Structure 1
Amino acid sequence: MKQTIIYLLLTAVSLASYGQRKTYWQQDVDYTMDIDVNEKTYQYDGKMKLKYGNNSGQELSKVYFHLYFNAFQPGSMMDERLKNISDPDARMVTKKVIDGISKSESRIAELKPEQIGFQKIKSVKYNGQAVSFKEDGTILEVSLPSSIKDGATVEFDLEWQAQVPEQIRRSGRNSKEGVAFSMTQWYPKMAHFDEFGWHLDEYVGREFIAPFGDFDVTIHINKDYVIGSSGKLQNPSEVKGYVSKPKLKLNKNKASWHYKAKNIHDFAWAADPKFVVDSAKSKGGVQVYTVYLPTDGTIVSNWKQALGLATEFFDFTGQHFGAYPWETYTIVQGGDGGMEYGTVTLITGGRNLKSLVGVIYHEAAHSWYQHLFGINETVDEWMDEGFTSYIEELALTELFVRPQAKALNPIGAAYLAYYRLANSKVEEPMSLLADYYNTNFAYSNEAYNKGAVLAEQLGYIIGKENLQKTFLKFYDLWKFKHPTPNDFKRVAEDVSGINLKWYFNLFINTTRKIDYAVGNVTGTGIEVVNKSNLAMPIDLLVEYQDGTKELFYIPLREMRADKPAEGFDIYNGVKRTVLTDWFWTQPTYVVPVSKAVKSVEIDPTKRLADVDQEDNKKTL
């Protein structure tokens, strides 16, 4: 945590002019864990020493931990959610035909006692004193004999026994691809406490938030196993897979794997005796590891190609979104899809090359959104997944597809998915808590696609160069902290000089849609019509009968400033005319012209998320 404190001191002077909250604070956590794994029973014994620093400005009489494995038990909230949501996650259910009707049944409900997950707390000590605690679903409540004073650092010692559940969601044993251990959400994790209070979300299915901290983790496991993990391996010469001839220091036929990581907020690992390890270094100095099952020649070839493309990704993303600040990043085969953790991801590996690279890029992009910026994924899921999807698509276009002519809108696929959502009649506000969506369809498209659209469309509003500057300035101000969407908005406003309250409020908190049309065209004017209830600035490209072109820019009154000219090739040599601002209370606007018009088009870059573009262009 010393790095965070130094960073805060060094940047304090510059923050005020860019909207940093002056009263910002965050808690400190430092974990030291010792884990003894029984690979035959899929159980382990854990010991943890946790240093907890209270910087909140108030005393704390209780603390809370997450016990995520407890979700994988019949009757849990996760189990009940699977039984009652209309479109459950296909990975978490089995399909059965009952009385001729196909039904989905929760896989968790079918787990036997030896298959469930659990974390059973044996003891909790507070500054060396045994204290009372209560397990309630996936939350552990610890009552303290004396409050934690503001500014104090205290110690907790926990001992627990855990059983790794069958692989159902993120965590688990014996994945479909044959990975023995996917160890995510596997330890009692200190709950997050911030200006909004304690974040005590039951583990129902969505994602996480936690305080930043340092991790020192030792894992004792059968000597034949290879581990891929968060952090940096401290003893590669004493374990299998990382050097050609390791000198194993065995303890009852076990090897001890020792990892350290600084300034991360979650720690994950996976283990299998068949894992192989490969590595390469990016130009920027990031050591990237791949840990996977060499199932066949095609799989091995895909993973080797993906490793090179992954190192390029860290250089590309570092240039556009800020430098990756840790020494290592590890890509491990495991889990049931793809999921990000501190300096590591677990992904399924039996994919074609494009799919493998795509999921690696997505999960690696989470190193920024959500691991460098500790975004609350339970509350602001669209900022986490949406901005990550945005980075993923930019990187795929640049590094994997490598087109000769760059697309005007590089995330066109996300726009199309958003249009399907907007016209589906099941869209809900993007600000909804992640677990509370009525459908997985709505959640996925809100978080991943509409969130990405928000980012690209922001570039349409403030200008693509200002968008780039916003991401980099946001990095400077908010790395290793827990920003909110409003913090990002404030940076964008400071960079661009444009007021954005209307955009963030309406696009995030409502299901209003954008829908413009080209209306009547006469010899003196072009009518532009707002058919919707969400007003936007308009770029209108006009081609005249004499072959010349003119780009009319109509700012929105609420912006209180104009977008600068943008350097798209289609606008080269085109006269740009800035018109009087448009009121959101006014449904039509007439653009004055003095020459005969040949064609008119609203936003030829396709960054305006207009849900019906059939009437956005008119040729006379």
Structure 2
Amino acid sequence: MKRLLTAIGIGLLTSVSLFAQKSVQNHAERFEQLGTTFRSPNVYRTASGAPGHMYWQQKADHEIEVELNDDNQSIKGSQKITYHNFSPDALTYLWIQLDQNERAKDSNTPKIASSQIGQRMSMRQLESIVWHDLDLGYKINSLKDMSGNDISVTINKTMMRVDLPQPLKAGEKFEFTVDWSFNIHDRMSFIGGRPGYEFFEKDGNYLYTMAEWFPRMAVYSDFEGWQHKQFVGRGEFALAFGDYKVKITVPADHMVGSTGVLQNPEEVLSAVELDRWNLAQKTYDKPVVIRTQAEAERLEKGKAKNKKTWIFHAENVRDFAWTSSRKFIWDAMAVKQAGKDVMAMSYYGKEGNPLWEQYSTRVVAHTIESYSARTFDYPYPVAISVEASNGMEYPMICFNYGRPDADGTYSDAVKYGMISVIIHEVGHNYFPMIVNSDERQWSWMDEGLNTFMQFLAEQEWDRDYPSRRGAAHKIVSYMASEKHLLEPIMTNSENIIQFGPNAYAKPATALNILRETIMGRELFDYAFKEYANRWMFKHPTPEDFFRTMEDASGVDLDWFWRGWFYGAEPVDISLDQVNWFKLDNRTPAEKKADAKKEFDREESYVSKTYNKQDIPQTVLEANPATRDFYNSYNPFAVTPEDEKAYKDFMARLNQKEKDLLNSGLNFYEMKFSNVGGLVMPLIIQFNYVDGTSEIERIPAEIWRLNESEVTKVFAKFKEVKNIVLDPFRETADIDESNNYWPSQATPTRFELFKGAGGARGVSTGDNPMKKAQKK
């Protein structure tokens, strides 16, 4: 309904608002600063989010010799660790991670996992209850100083304390050796996990993904001391940087891919493979196949009795992983990065073709180029993708999934799933392999940031890329979950109910909203790149990220961090009511005429119509004595006083005021309520009667004085036909039915699907490629 504003002392007409959920207080805590929540800045970490002038971190160098036994799927190794104490503290002991013990007999992992017996149980379900009976976990054979003396150790599940013979003072280093062995587990079985082996029954061969395979130094930091939280499977890793020299002995017919640079290609590659490898290092437009599928298939048919030792060096890495199999096809190409070449490479069995040969290495190269443009130039010499029906990352190497059907066809879900996981796992080189956050404490700092970067790289790969995460509307189903199923992003990894949505999707969505809606691309991209460069090869905390994003952009984001990262409320902003007003610039005659029309309309009710027939004569009509002044008075007649008041008012107006009075402006008073609780900007689309549209963007700070409801008036020259709140679905609003004026019905859609099981990355759905080949 249109309302008129009087020209003198414009008054607002009140209306009844729709019901809306309110906070306990109108002005609660959503816009309070986070200063008291954050750690205090100090000489190690500044209030700006940058490393302080006395920042330090430890270093752990490794020299390792390891041998793989392909007959009984076991591994044994010896290593020398040089631990550098750059902290200001004297250390009386060191802590070492023994992650293989997560699968040991006394592991806490099966103990803290809930389980139940159903009417029907699969063998895999039953085995998962008793898997701790397997002979898995480390066997620490010795731990000695460089003089050969035994060092006292205490093993607590997945952590080992090394008691130093004397305190390790600031600036000193300590060298010691560890000999160890363990049985490699079948990661395709009920045990699962990141490392292990996969057995291919058809050709009788194994594919090994060796990660978390050696005792690794825990992190000692300025903000936490020792990070020795137990590894129980989900929370990943906190690791120190160091240099690695690793000798890997495997069957002579195996191909090995690894963190670092191969030091002895002439000894382990055939003459033909060496020539192809040298060619690949000068080829930038497409991958060069170094070991072909035909060559790999020939090797699959036999087992070499002799062995070869592959030697790799890696500098300034936080971890080291490798893979080995006689099944591997190997291809590679060079990628230019800031005046140097990076080798993008892939290792995969025949089961991955033709998909892997066409896409994997190209995706590795694209990921390096995309991520580097937004962070820093990729500093390492290689980046490797391994097909292992898996998805896990380590420095310079990652294990991924995506296998076609046996006939070489595949669904688009398999294709895009493979490309996405390669982007994601290669992207982890940046977060957390280089920007080295603590994954065991804050999964979102690597998974969330990396998923955001993955979304950008996917969109650069294909304009129609079916990205699963990143766009705001795709997090709605999670944020609309029952409250007891939700936790803040700032929740420890082991305590999250819906891990994927919480640690991956929600932070990625939050960053995308920051970039597109809150900060804008220019400010966001500059600040994000500043964070990456400040903390590359260092150990950042959440505060360092939050502070840097504000420091480099000049945007106060405490309300955003508080709502999206420290809270679990959803976004649901309701457009409750719209009142339409116009300035009253009518002449007295026009006002009286309009008033007469309104009076006649109000008095034209049904009883009067019938009474004209049923009441032949009223008292007033029958008896003149009942009449007085008002029976002949015309309230709708224009008086001289009316004309004079109008002329006097117009005479008092200057030209600017007269222009405003005659502008024809429409005023739309809009009332909003914050039903969900998470404050966000108001993004309003006005659709006009003439067919045009306009977007108004109101910052989230409009809620700062009343977090429950706000009223805002918009002046428009054009008449509005309808209004849409959040028209581009960019705020993750969980209920779009209250985003319209006039209100409109919105259907709730559901998807019909048929569930099916299968190995990770294997096609289980529709495969149009297969159908097309049958025609």
Interval containing the TM-score (normalised by the shorter chain): 0.7 to 0.9
1:552 paired with 2:696, answer yes
Aligned residue pairs total 560
The separation in 2 between residues aligned to 1:377 and 1:242, in whole angstroms, is 42
Deviates more, 1:488-497 or 1:208-217: 488-497
Q: What SS does the aligned partner of 1:61 have?
A: strand
- Which residue, out of 88, 96, 109, partners 1:57? 88
Q: Residue in 2 aligned with 1:519?
A: 576
- The answer on whether the counterparts of 2:158 and 2:231 sit within 8 Å (CA) in structure 1 is yes
1:121 paired with 2:140, answer yes
- The answer on whether the counterparts of 1:35 and 1:220 sit within 8 Å (CA) in structure 2 is yes
> Residues 374-413 of structure 1 correspond to what in structure 2 (within 5 A)?
374-399=436-461, 401-403=462-464, 411=469
- Matched letter for residue 722 of structure 2: S
Q: Residue in 1 aligned with 2:266?
A: 237
> Residues 499-538 of structure 1 correspond to what in structure 2 (within 5 A)?
499-523=556-580, 524=667, 525-538=669-682
- The answer on whether the counterparts of 2:141 and 2:180 sit within 8 Å (CA) in structure 1 is yes
Cα distance per residue 1:163-221 (max 9 Å; x no partner): 21222211112357964321111000001111212111222112111011111111111
- Which residue, out of 322, 325, 328, partners 2:379? 325
Evaluate the alpha carbon distance shift between residue 138 and residue 582 of structure 1 in structure 2; reply closer, same or farther with a 3 A threshold: closer
1:19 paired with 2:49, answer yes
The separation in 2 between residues aligned to 1:364 and 1:242, in whole angstroms, is 30
Q: Residue in 1 aligned with 2:212?
A: 185
- The answer on whether the counterparts of 1:73 and 1:108 sit within 8 Å (CA) in structure 2 is no
Q: What SS does the aligned partner of 2:736 have?
A: coil
1:592 paired with 2:714, answer yes
Cα distance per residue 1:296-326 (max 9 Å; x no partner): xx72343332222321221122112322111
Evaluate the alpha carbon distance shift between residue 109 and residue 269 of structure 1 in structure 2; reply closer, same or farther with a 3 A threshold: farther
Q: What SS does the aligned partner of 1:151 have?
A: coil
After TM superposition, give the deviation of residue 358 of structure 1 in Å. Answer: 1.2
Q: Residue in 2 aligned with 1:560?
A: none
- The answer on whether the counterparts of 2:219 and 2:239 sit within 8 Å (CA) in structure 1 is yes
Evaluate the alpha carbon distance shift between residue 286 and residue 457 of structure 1 in structure 2; reply closer, same or farther with a 3 A threshold: same
Evaluate the alpha carbon distance shift between residue 157 and residue 100 of structure 1 in structure 2; reply closer, same or farther with a 3 A threshold: closer
Q: What SS does the aligned partner of 1:221 have?
A: strand
Evaluate the alpha carbon distance shift between residue 39 and residue 500 of structure 1 in structure 2; reply closer, same or farther with a 3 A threshold: same
After TM superposition, give the deviation of residue 272 of structure 1 in Å. Answer: 0.8
Q: Residue in 1 aligned with 2:317?
A: 264
Q: What SS does the aligned partner of 1:429 have?
A: coil
1:172 paired with 2:295, answer no
The separation in 2 between residues aligned to 1:619 and 1:75, in whole angstroms, is 64
After TM superposition, give the deviation of residue 223 of structure 1 in Å. Answer: 0.7
Evaluate the alpha carbon distance shift between residue 131 and residue 293 of structure 1 in structure 2; reply closer, same or farther with a 3 A threshold: same
Larger RCO, structures 1/2 (Cα 8 Å, 6+ apart): 2
The separation in 2 between residues aligned to 1:450 and 1:77, in whole angstroms, is 29
Q: What SS does the aligned partner of 1:70 have?
A: helix
The separation in 1 between residues aligned to 2:145 and 2:472, in whole angstroms, is 49
Q: What SS does the aligned partner of 2:438 have?
A: coil
Q: Residue in 2 aligned with 1:134?
A: 154
- The answer on whether the counterparts of 1:79 and 1:106 sit within 8 Å (CA) in structure 2 is no
Q: Residue in 2 aligned with 1:350?
A: 403
- Which residue, out of 730, 738, 741, partners 1:618? 741
- Which residue, out of 246, 257, 277, partners 1:228? 257
Evaluate the alpha carbon distance shift between residue 306 and residue 332 of structure 1 in structure 2; reply closer, same or farther with a 3 A threshold: closer
TM-score normalised by the chain length of structure 1: 0.83
Evaluate the alpha carbon distance shift between residue 243 and residue 256 of structure 1 in structure 2; reply closer, same or farther with a 3 A threshold: farther
Evaluate the alpha carbon distance shift between residue 548 and residue 300 of structure 1 in structure 2; reply closer, same or farther with a 3 A threshold: closer
- The answer on whether the counterparts of 2:107 and 2:132 sit within 8 Å (CA) in structure 1 is no
After TM superposition, give the deviation of residue 30 of structure 1 in Å. Answer: 0.9
Evaluate the alpha carbon distance shift between residue 597 and residue 470 of structure 1 in structure 2; reply closer, same or farther with a 3 A threshold: same
Evaluate the alpha carbon distance shift between residue 99 and residue 262 of structure 1 in structure 2; reply closer, same or farther with a 3 A threshold: same
- The answer on whether the counterparts of 1:72 and 1:108 sit within 8 Å (CA) in structure 2 is no
Q: Residue in 2 aligned with 1:8?
A: none
RMSD value, Cα: 2.9
Evaluate the alpha carbon distance shift between residue 255 and residue 522 of structure 1 in structure 2; reply closer, same or farther with a 3 A threshold: same
- Matched letter for residue 192 of structure 1: V
After TM superposition, give the deviation of residue 20 of structure 1 in Å. Answer: 0.9
Q: Residue in 2 aligned with 1:215?
A: 244
- The answer on whether the counterparts of 1:414 and 1:449 sit within 8 Å (CA) in structure 2 is no
The separation in 2 between residues aligned to 1:414 and 1:554, in whole angstroms, is 18
Deviates more, 1:428-437 or 1:413-422: 413-422
- The answer on whether the counterparts of 1:48 and 1:157 sit within 8 Å (CA) in structure 2 is yes
- Matched letter for residue 249 of structure 2: H
- Which residue, out of 207, 212, 229, partners 1:201? 229
After TM superposition, give the deviation of residue 598 of structure 1 in Å. Answer: 2.1
Evaluate the alpha carbon distance shift between residue 411 and residue 545 of structure 1 in structure 2; reply closer, same or farther with a 3 A threshold: farther
Evaluate the alpha carbon distance shift between residue 219 and residue 103 of structure 1 in structure 2; reply closer, same or farther with a 3 A threshold: closer
Q: Residue in 1 aligned with 2:334?
A: 281
- The answer on whether the counterparts of 1:124 and 1:130 sit within 8 Å (CA) in structure 2 is yes
Unpaired segments ≥5 residues, structure 1: 1-12, 87-96, 558-579
The separation in 2 between residues aligned to 1:504 and 1:216, in whole angstroms, is 42
- Matched letter for residue 599 of structure 1: N
Q: What SS does the aligned partner of 1:282 have?
A: strand
Q: Residue in 2 aligned with 1:492?
A: 549
- The answer on whether the counterparts of 1:292 and 1:349 sit within 8 Å (CA) in structure 2 is no
Percent identity of equivalent pairs: 28
Unpaired segments ≥5 residues, structure 2: 1-42, 276-303, 405-413, 581-666, 744-775
Q: Residue in 2 aligned with 1:158?
A: 178
Q: Residue in 1 aligned with 2:74?
A: 43
Q: What SS does the aligned partner of 2:138 have?
A: strand
After TM superposition, give the deviation of residue 109 of structure 1 in Å. Answer: 4.9
Evaluate the alpha carbon distance shift between residue 477 and residue 100 of structure 1 in structure 2; reply closer, same or farther with a 3 A threshold: closer
- Which residue, out of 149, 158, 161, partners 2:169? 149
- Matched letter for residue 490 of structure 2: S
The separation in 1 between residues aligned to 2:315 and 2:706, in whole angstroms, is 48
> Residues 293-308 of structure 1 correspond to what in structure 2 (within 5 A)?
293-295=349-351, 299-308=353-362
- Which residue, out of 25, 34, 37, partners 2:65? 34
Q: Which structure: greater strand fraction?
A: 1
Cα distance per residue 1:259-300 (max 9 Å; x no partner): 1111211111111111121101224332111011013xx723
Report the structure number with the largest CA radius of gyration.
Answer: 2
Cα distance per residue 1:43-74 (max 9 Å; x no partner): 22211111111122211111111111121134
- Matched letter for residue 428 of structure 1: E
Evaluate the alpha carbon distance shift between residue 464 and residue 605 of structure 1 in structure 2; reply closer, same or farther with a 3 A threshold: farther
Evaluate the alpha carbon distance shift between residue 491 and residue 232 of structure 1 in structure 2; reply closer, same or farther with a 3 A threshold: same
TM-score normalised by the chain length of structure 2: 0.67
Q: Residue in 2 aligned with 1:565?
A: none
- The answer on whether the counterparts of 1:517 and 1:531 sit within 8 Å (CA) in structure 2 is yes
Deviates more, 1:468-477 or 1:589-598: 589-598
Evaluate the alpha carbon distance shift between residue 414 and residue 515 of structure 1 in structure 2; reply closer, same or farther with a 3 A threshold: closer
Q: Residue in 2 aligned with 1:577?
A: none
- The answer on whether the counterparts of 2:97 and 2:160 sit within 8 Å (CA) in structure 1 is yes
- The answer on whether the counterparts of 1:124 and 1:157 sit within 8 Å (CA) in structure 2 is yes
- Matched letter for residue 125 of structure 1: K
Evaluate the alpha carbon distance shift between residue 73 and residue 17 of structure 1 in structure 2; reply closer, same or farther with a 3 A threshold: closer
Q: Residue in 2 aligned with 1:607?
A: 730
After TM superposition, give the deviation of residue 147 of structure 1 in Å. Answer: 1.0
Cα distance per residue 1:512-556 (max 9 Å; x no partner): 121112221222222232223222222323233345544333224
Evaluate the alpha carbon distance shift between residue 614 and residue 303 of structure 1 in structure 2; reply closer, same or farther with a 3 A threshold: farther
Cα distance per residue 1:579-608 (max 9 Å; x no partner): x77534451222332442223233333221
Evaluate the alpha carbon distance shift between residue 186 and residue 535 of structure 1 in structure 2; reply closer, same or farther with a 3 A threshold: same
The separation in 2 between residues aligned to 1:416 and 1:549, in whole angstroms, is 26
